[in-house]
């Protein structure tokens, strides 16, 4: 063994002991007769002190060199309360250089001035920074807490294929050409959805997997082309039971990893309530502002653009004298970008409503607006006008979110964990056709089955989302286990008999051999780690991520294929 202790381990009780340490040079300070070196490994930093007899070797030591030292633990003259090892130092008797290092292209410290692409290009150096190591170690603890919880409840971890066939999961598939079957392609799984349902038909009853998933979609701070989810499926369980199972798992993980306990019971909101009150199906309820439906107030308005429209309002209480006109204009752009026809604002001061629309509003309309929104002096009102209910909710919901982040930062500390349930089974595409709102294997409410043929958009689903701090952590549902209902759902979303057979023949056939009622969920491990580490992007909690353009600056992937590789695969690449 090269070392007797790690660099975060030694304390006052070790004073007088002879120890051996290894690590990277984080910092060197030459004071003439003494040289002080901060020696770093993944466990922490220990200060070592070299004396005159080591002067020659110390002259050749630079940052990020790897050293082996042997010496005696001593009490530091100048205590450093910022370090766990700050009470002691090592008086070096022997020192050797294990390996040298070039000058690094980024600062190896918690704070670095490197741009993200530089950090990703030299990710092995970026990951040497203590703050980055702590993030990945916490990610490991999160996954371990989940595994411990599920293992203790008789779940079986089963790996499912990475090379599979395409499935409708809401994003584009990544395709992999088959050399042995020219002209045919595998798809990388967007999730293990069909396989975990087949495992229920196979009788495993309780399955989980820390699964790699792949989706070809536009980049965002909380998205990656390849990501990790905790995937689980259970047979003979109802909606309440699986939500309780997942909720208890999350609470146990928070206690183990964060030493955090939720003071209140985790709340559950229907999709309708979440959209109506917060303007989002993944609401952050720490923000105090709420949406209010005010279209009835303007039902007989003299203003043409308000007639027969969806109108939502929000009372930004006590913000009138804190917000600039420039900020209000930027909120208008946000609302329009999210589907609003217009964002109108009112000020309320001295028990008087003012704003560009007030002169066209009757006294009755003004009085109702003041009463409905419970306005007080210095309140500011935002009102969104849209063609559809979802547009009005989404547009004002984004305004609400922006206001919360700017003006309620103190409220945004801590954790806000909740469920959203009772989602619609279908949604309408731009061309008017229907699509599965979650995925086509989600079970509709039994009492809504009669609406499948007449008013499918009114059909509710047993679909539940777990939300943390305004991020969707995971989506799950009770699954369809009746072959007739499954085929009916496929047909409603426009799949022909031929398409059903080609894409899901093996899956539909399996339903004929005794399919148990079952349910499941997939939780985004990257998003959970991002939130619990206080990171701004999931790239910070993934060891080797892609950038916003889905490129890996470290390996330069994706890279062109050679002419020989393309010929072997019988593929021709067309130039743009």
3-state secondary structure of 23: strand
- Choose among 242, 239, 294: nearest CA to 270: 239
Q: Which of 106-110, 352-356, 528-532 has the lowest mean pLDDT?
A: 352-356
> What does pLDDT average to over the chain?
94
Q: Which of 366, 381, 411 is the last residue of a domain?
A: 411
Q: 40 with 67, same domain?
A: yes
Backbone angles phi, psi at 397, to 5 degrees: -65, -40
Confidence of residue 169 (pLDDT cuts 50, 70, 90): low
Q: 90 with 131, same domain?
A: no
Whether 21 is in a domain gets the answer: yes
The contacts of residue 267 (CB under 8 Å, 6+ apart) are 285, 418, 419
3-state secondary structure of 537: coil
User: Is residue 290 within 8 Å of 317, Cβ to Cβ?
Assistant: no
Tell the residue number behind the tokens 């030591």, with chain if given: 61
Helix-strand-coil percent breakdown of the chain, rounded to 5?
30, 25, 40
Q: What is the pLDDT of residue 356?
A: 87
The residues facing 475 across adjacent strands are 465, 522
- Check residues 539 and 221 and name the one with the higher pLDDT: 539
Q: 154 with 187, same domain?
A: yes
Q: 140 with 84, same domain?
A: no
Whether 560 is in a domain gets the answer: yes
User: Is residue 467 within 8 Å of 278, Cβ to Cβ?
Assistant: no
Cis peptide before 570 (omega within 30 of 0): no
- Choose among 435, 445, 442, 437: nearest CA to 492: 435
Q: 406 with 294, same domain?
A: yes
- Tell me the mean pLDDT in the region 468-493: 93
- Distance CA(347)–CA(312), nearest Å, equals 16
**Boundaries of domain holding 401:** 287-411
The contacts of residue 415 (CB under 8 Å, 6+ apart) are 254, 260, 262, 468, 469, 531
Tell me what percent of the residues of the chain surpass a pLDDT of 90.
84
- Tell me the mean pLDDT in the region 525-540: 95
Whether 107 is in a domain gets the answer: no
Tens of pLDDT, residues 254-286: 999 999 999 889 999 999 999 999 999 999 999
Question: What is the maximum span of the chain, computed from C-alpha positions, in angstroms?
Answer: 93
Tens of pLDDT, residues 409-419: 889 988 999 99
Q: Which of 367, 388, 411 is the last residue of a domain?
A: 411
The residues facing 418 across adjacent strands are 267, 467
- Asked whether residue 21 carries a pLDDT value surpassing 70, the answer given is yes
Q: Residue 210: enclosing H or E segment and its boundaries?
A: strand 206-214
Q: 135 with 234, same domain?
A: yes
Question: DSSP character for 424?
Answer: B
Tens of pLDDT, residues 186-195: 999 999 999 9
Q: 55 with 157, same domain?
A: no
Bridge pairing between strands 44-50 and 88-99:
parallel
User: Is residue 105 within 8 Å of 46, Cβ to Cβ?
Assistant: no
Q: 240 with 330, same domain?
A: no
Q: What is the pLDDT of residue 428?
A: 87
Q: Which of 379, 411, 443 is the last residue of a domain?
A: 411
Whether 489 is in a domain gets the answer: no
Q: What is the pLDDT of residue 264?
A: 87
Q: What is the pLDDT of residue 213?
A: 94
Q: What is the pLDDT of residue 170?
A: 66
Whichever domain contains 51, its CATH number is 2.40.50.140
Whether 490 is in a domain gets the answer: no
Q: Tokens standing for 567?
A: 């010929």
Q: 375 with 236, same domain?
A: no
- Asked whether residue 500 carries a pLDDT value surpassing 90, the answer given is no
Q: How many helices (H) and strands (E) does the chain have?
A: 14, 22
Give the distance from CA 360 to its chain's centroid: 45
- Tell me the mean pLDDT in the region 97-118: 95
Whether 476 is in a domain gets the answer: no
Q: Tokens standing for 133?
A: 């190591």
- Distance CA(414)–CA(410), nearest Å, equals 10
Whether 187 is in a domain gets the answer: yes
Q: 564 with 529, same domain?
A: yes
Q: 235 with 144, same domain?
A: yes
- Tell me the mean pLDDT in the region 357-371: 92
If phi > 0 it is left, if psi is from -120 to 50 it is alpha, else beta; for residue 290 that is beta
- Choose among 102, 108, 88, 138: nearest CA to 40: 108
Whichever domain contains 154, its CATH number is 3.30.930.10
Tell me what percent of the residues of the chain surpass a pLDDT of 70.
99
Whichever domain contains 371, its CATH number is 3.30.1360.30
Q: How many structural domains compose the chain? A: 3
Q: What is the pLDDT of residue 305?
A: 86
What secondary structure does DSSP assign to 391-438, as a single string?
A: HHHHHHHHHHHHHHHHH-GGGGSS--EEEEE--BSEEE-TTS-EEESS
Whether 280 is in a domain gets the answer: no
Tens of pLDDT, residues 120-158: 999 999 999 999 999 999 999 999 999 999 999 999 999
Q: What is the pLDDT of residue 168?
A: 62
- Choose among 518, 511, 436: nearest CA to 477: 518
- Distance CA(236)–CA(225), nearest Å, equals 33
Say what the pTM is.
Answer: 0.92
Tens of pLDDT, residues 296-331: 999 888 888 888 899 999 999 999 999 999 999 999
Q: What is the pLDDT of residue 432?
A: 84
Q: 301 with 259, same domain?
A: no
- Distance CA(21)–CA(4), nearest Å, equals 7
């Amino acid at each position: 063994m090269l070392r007797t202790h790690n660099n975060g381990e030694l304390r006052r009780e070790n004073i007088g002991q002879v120890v051996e340490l290894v690590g990277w040079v984080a910092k060197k300070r030459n004071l003439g007769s003494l040289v002080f070196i901060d020696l770093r490994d993944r466990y922490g930093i220990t200060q070592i002190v070299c004396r005159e007899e080591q002067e020659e070797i110390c002259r050749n030591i630079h940052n990020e060199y790897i050293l082996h030292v042997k010496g005696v633990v001593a009490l530091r003259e100048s205590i450093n309360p910022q370090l766990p090892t700050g009470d002691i130092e090592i008086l070096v008797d022997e020192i050797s250089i294990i390996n040298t290092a070039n000058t690094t292209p980024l600062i190896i410290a918690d704070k670095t001035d490197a741009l993200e692409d530089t950090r990703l290009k030299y990710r092995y150096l970026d990951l040497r920074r203590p703050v980055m190591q702590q993030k990945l170690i916490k990610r490991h603890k999160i996954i371990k807490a989940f595994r411990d919880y599920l293992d203790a409840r008789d779940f079986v971890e089963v790996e499912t294929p990475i090379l599979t066939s395409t499935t409708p999961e809401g994003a584009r598939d990544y395709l992999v050409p088959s050399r042995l079957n020219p002209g045919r392609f595998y798809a990388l799984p967007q999730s293990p959805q069909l396989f975990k349902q087949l495992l229920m038909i196979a009788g495993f009853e309780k399955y989980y997997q820390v699964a790699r998933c792949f989706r070809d979609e536009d980049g965002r701070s909380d998205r990656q082309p390849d990501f990790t989810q905790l995937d689980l499926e259970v047979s003979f369980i109802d909606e309440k039971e699986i939500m309780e199972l997942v909720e208890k798992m999350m609470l146990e993980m928070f206690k183990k990893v964060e030493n955090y306990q939720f003071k209140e019971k985790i709340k559950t909101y229907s999709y309708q309530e979440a959209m109506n009150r917060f303007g989002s199906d993944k609401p952050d309820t720490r923000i105090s502002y709420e949406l209010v439906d005010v279209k009835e107030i303007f039902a007989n308005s003299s203003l043409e653009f308000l007639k027969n429209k969806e109108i939502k309002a929000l009372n930004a209480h006590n913000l009138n004298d804190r917000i600039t006109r420039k900020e209000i204009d930027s909120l208008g752009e946000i609302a329009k970008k999210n589907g609003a026809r217009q964002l109108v604002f009112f000020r309320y001061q001295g028990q008087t409503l003012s704003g560009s629309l007030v002169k066209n509003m009757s006294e009755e309309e003004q009085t109702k607006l003041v009463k409905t929104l419970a306005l007080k002096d210095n309140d500011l009102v935002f009102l969104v006008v849209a063609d559809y209910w979802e547009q009005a909710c989404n547009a004002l919901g984004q305004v609400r979110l922006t206001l919360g982040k700017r003006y309620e930062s103190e409220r945004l500390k801590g954790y806000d964990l909740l469920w959203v349930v009772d989602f619609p089974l279908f949604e309408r595409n731009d061309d008017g056709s229907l699509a599965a709102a979650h995925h086509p294997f989600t079970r509709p409410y039994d009492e809504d089955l009669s609406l499948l043929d007449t008013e499918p958009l009114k059909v509710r689903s047993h679909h539940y989302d777990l939300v943390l701090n305004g991020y969707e952590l995971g989506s799950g549902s009770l699954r369809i286990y009746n072959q007739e209902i499954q085929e009916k759902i496929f047909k409603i979303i426009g799949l022909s008999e031929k398409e059903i057979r080609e894409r899901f023949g093996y899956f539909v056939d399996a339903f004929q051999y005794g399919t148990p009622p079952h349910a499941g969920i997939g939780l985004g491990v990257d998003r959970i780690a991002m939130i619990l580490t206080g990171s701004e992007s999931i790239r910070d909690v993934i060891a080797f991520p892609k950038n916003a353009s889905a490129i890996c600056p470290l390996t330069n992937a994706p890279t062109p294929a050679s002419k020989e590789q393309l010929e072997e695969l019988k593929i021709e690449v067309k130039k743009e």
